């Protein structure tokens, strides 16, 4: 069978540890035999980031801006232990943070659902995608402990030096705590546009919630910006697509999410997204089945797995032991990126290949062949735990049938 030809290169960001091993296996076993892979390769492995003074991370993000689609392997964010382990010149910043800052994007996390692994909320038969606004609020705050009898105010000095003051609290004999936080209209607008674009792209409703009844200026501003952008730029497109934008109070949203069957995008303010994404991921079963895509407001996409480099498995691998590491989220990062490339370049055969590869993966697990993490969770009667490579070979057998 002739290999599928690509038009525009995919930006390929290689990474670290066990996921780097899986990365190569996925390409060798499942992609390169079928696709004449055109990629612009950036090695974001920690050693190469260190050699290039992290320039490679910046270059990979600029290439993503240029070509529009990237696929990224999990990477180490260095800490003190990694400084010694890799003999680093500096404690380089998180690559994901650097890339996100350059692309100004929003991260969407979606669970992959398979038969045999029932979510803790059994009504969730479709995925819930969480979009987290990743700028500002409590993550860029200023806070103080306040002594007794202190008077605390918010002071805003405009560019001409005029001051506006507002009392936070006149403390009494008990001191206390205060906190100042901010957000920026432009960032909220980008967030809203990324969310609306992704809803159109994936043909799903989008929910957004905040505490606007209590926070009449701060949270209300989020609600207003979403509504203004929706009305001006997206209302007609949503109606034509038959999807809905739905705003409600955060308390009501949480209750509705639990009662729902899934199948929508839940846009969250920064803190809500931080907390709720952990809850939703856990409820669906496994972090190794969670995909993640960074979408910029101007329509640039970077696909990856939500999990890290699976360090513990890598050390086993280095000792020559067989591992049973789950490659599904990394594999779906590849299929997501290939499908998007196929859509943009009008290559239906590439879209079809991505669809078949996902189908083959799910089929493999639903026929009882899976990695150890899933074998622990699955309720299928005849399940078989396989090692990292065998799992990919099993997928390939089913992929061949689907493509035939
Ligand atoms: P992790 O790599 O996600 O792994 C945590 C644990 O979760 C693993 O030890 C494993 O449990 C389980 N697990 C995660 N993914 C799995 C998979 N695909 N298959 C099977 N089990 C899986 O998180 P971490 O250990 O906290 O972080 C390791 C490194 O990853 C760190 O250097 C961190 O900076 C980096 N990281 C990168 C990203 C990213 O690039 N997006 C995200 C998070 C973390 P068992 O060991 O019990 O089997
Ligand atoms: Mg969290």
- 254: Cβ contacts below 8 Å, ≥ 6 apart: 209, 276
Label residue 277 by pLDDT band (50, 70, 90).
Answer: confident
Query: Contact, 8 vs 38, CB < 8 A?
Result: yes
- Residue 2 main-chain phi, psi, to 5 deg: -70, 145
Domain end call among 258, 284, 310: 284
What is the CB < 6 Å shell around ligand 1? 74-77, 96, 287-288, 304, 307-312, 325-326, 373
Do 135 and 255 lie in one domain? The reply is yes
Do 66 and 176 lie in one domain? The reply is no
Query: Is 383 contained in some domain?
Result: yes
Do 335 and 398 lie in one domain? The reply is yes
Q: What is the tally of structural domains in the chain?
A: 3
Do 134 and 158 lie in one domain? The reply is no
Determine the distance from the C-alpha atom of residue 2 to the mean position of all C-alpha atoms in its chain, rounded to a whole number: 34
- Residue 370 main-chain phi, psi, to 5 deg: -155, 165
Do 36 and 85 lie in one domain? The reply is yes
Looking at every residue in the chain, the average pLDDT score rounds to 95
| Closest of 73, 128, 89, 98 to residue 264, by C-alpha | 128
The residue contributing the CA closest to ligand 1 atom 31 is 76
Closest approach atom of ligand 1 to CA 328: 18
Closest approach atom of ligand 1 to CA 74: 40
Label residue 125 by pLDDT band (50, 70, 90).
Answer: very high
Closest approach atom of ligand 1 to CA 326: 19
- 228: Cβ contacts below 8 Å, ≥ 6 apart: none
Domain end call among 260, 284, 308: 284
Label residue 281 by pLDDT band (50, 70, 90).
Answer: confident
Do 210 and 129 lie in one domain? The reply is yes
Query: Is 294 contained in some domain?
Result: no
Which pLDDT value is given to residue 192?
A: 96
Question: Does the pLDDT at position 20 exceed 80?
Answer: yes
Distances (CA, A) of 185 to 52, 67, 107, 191: 35, 28, 18, 10
Q: Which residue has the higher pLDDT, 52 or 104?
A: 52
How far, in Å, from the CA of 276 to the mean position of ligand 2? 8
Query: Is 289 contained in some domain?
Result: no
Query: Is 134 contained in some domain?
Result: yes
Which pLDDT value is given to residue 278?
A: 84
Query: Is 77 contained in some domain?
Result: yes
Domain end call among 249, 284, 319: 284
Among residues of the chain, what percentage have pLDDT more than 70? 100
Q: What is the CATH number of the domain that holds 193?
A: 3.40.718.10
**Which residue segment(s) compose the domain that 122 sits in?**
118-140+184-284
Query: Is 291 contained in some domain?
Result: no
Q: Whole-angstrom Cα distance, residue 13 to residue 196?
A: 27
**pLDDT tens profile 173-226:** 999 999 999 999 999 999 999 999 999 999 999 999 999 999 999 999 999 999
Of 15, 85, 309, best ligand 1 pocket probe by most atoms within 8 Å of the beta carbon: 309
The residue contributing the CA closest to ligand 1 atom 5 is 310
Among residues of the chain, what percentage have pLDDT more than 90? 90
Do 211 and 327 lie in one domain? The reply is no
The residue contributing the CA closest to ligand 1 atom 37 is 308
- 320: Cβ contacts below 8 Å, ≥ 6 apart: none
Model pTM score? 0.91
Query: Is 37 contained in some domain?
Result: yes
Query: Is 252 contained in some domain?
Result: yes
Do 1 and 58 lie in one domain? The reply is yes
Do 376 and 395 lie in one domain? The reply is yes
Do 369 and 303 lie in one domain? The reply is yes
How far, in Å, from the CA of 398 to the mean position of ligand 1? 28
Closest approach atom of ligand 1 to CA 327: 18
The residue contributing the CA closest to ligand 1 atom 26 is 308
Do 211 and 242 lie in one domain? The reply is yes
Do 367 and 237 lie in one domain? The reply is no
The residue contributing the CA closest to ligand 1 atom 45 is 312
């Amino acid at each position: 069978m002739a290999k599928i030809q690509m038009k525009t290169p995919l930006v390929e960001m290689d990474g670290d540890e066990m996921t780097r091993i899986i990365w190569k296996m996925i390409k060798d076993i499942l992609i390169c035999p079928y696709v004449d892979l055109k990629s612009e390769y950036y090695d974001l492995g920690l050693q190469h980031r260190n050699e290039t003074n992290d320039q490679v991370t910046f270059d990979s993000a600029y290439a993503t801006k240029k070509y529009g689609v990237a696929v990224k392997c999990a990477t180490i964010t260095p800490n003190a232990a990694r400084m010694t382990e890799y003999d680093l010149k500096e404690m380089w910043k998180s690559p994901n943070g650097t890339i996100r800052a350059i692309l100004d994007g929003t991260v969407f996390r979606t669970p992959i659902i398979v038969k045999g692994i029932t979510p803790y909320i059994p009504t969730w038969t479709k995925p819930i995608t969480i979009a987290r606004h990743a700028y500002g609020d409590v993550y860029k705050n200023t806070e103080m402990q306040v002594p007794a009898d202190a008077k605390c105010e918010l002071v805003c000095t405009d560019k001409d030096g005029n001051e506006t003051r507002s009392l936070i609290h006149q403390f009494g004999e008990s001191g206390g705590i205060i906190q100042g936080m901010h957000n920026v209209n432009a960032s909220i607008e980008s967030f809203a546009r990324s969310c609306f674009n992704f809803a159109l792209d994936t043909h799903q409703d989008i929910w957004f919630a905040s505490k606007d009844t209590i926070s009449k200026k701060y949270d209300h501003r989020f609600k207003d910006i979403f509504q203004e952008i929706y009305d001006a730029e997206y209302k007609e497109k949503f109606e034509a697509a038959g999807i809905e934008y739905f705003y409600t109070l955060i308390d009501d949203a949480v209750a509705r999410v639990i009662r729902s069957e899934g199948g929508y995008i839940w846009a969250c303010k920064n803190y809500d997204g931080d907390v709720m994404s952990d809850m939703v991921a856990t409820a669906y079963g496994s972090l190794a089945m969670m995909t993640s895509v960074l979408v910029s407001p101007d329509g640039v996409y970077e696909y990856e797995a939500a999990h890290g480099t699976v360090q513990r498995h890598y050390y086993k691998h280095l000792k020559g032991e067989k591992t049973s590491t789950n490659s599904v989220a990394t594999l779906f990062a590849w299929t997501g990126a290939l499908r998007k490339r196929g859509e943009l370049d009008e290559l239906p055969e590439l879209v079809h290949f991505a669809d078949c590869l996902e189908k083959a993966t799910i089929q493999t697990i639903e026929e009882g062949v899976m990695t150890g993490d899933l074998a622990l969770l699955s309720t299928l009667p005849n399940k078989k735990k396989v090692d990292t490579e065998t799992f990919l070979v099993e997928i390939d057998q089913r992929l061949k049938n689907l493509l035939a």
